[in-house]
Amino acid sequence: MNSQEPEKASKFYAEVFGWKVHEPSWDYWPVTTDENTESNHLQGGISKGPHDYPHGTRV
């Protein structure tokens, strides 16, 4: 997902949903929801969104 403020978004999702946010690389914060690779979990990240699309999530 993208955010105009990915640092704040990373903190929000970590606190509210318990997501594990890893160290950023190239304005991309990798995210996982579960360390157990045998279960269903989210694996993705949060990145800095383009300035011309400030709202919502792009899929």
Q: What confidence score (pLDDT) does residue 11 get? A: 94
Question: Is the pTM of the predicted complex or chain greater than 0.75?
Answer: no
Sole residue written with tokens 């640092």: 7
Residue 37 identity: T
Q: What confidence score (pLDDT) does residue 50 get? A: 76
- E strand intervals along 1-59: 2-3, 20-21, 28-32, 43-48
Each residue's pLDDT tens digit, 5-58: 889 999 999 999 888 999 988 889 899 887 665 666 778 888 887 777 656 555
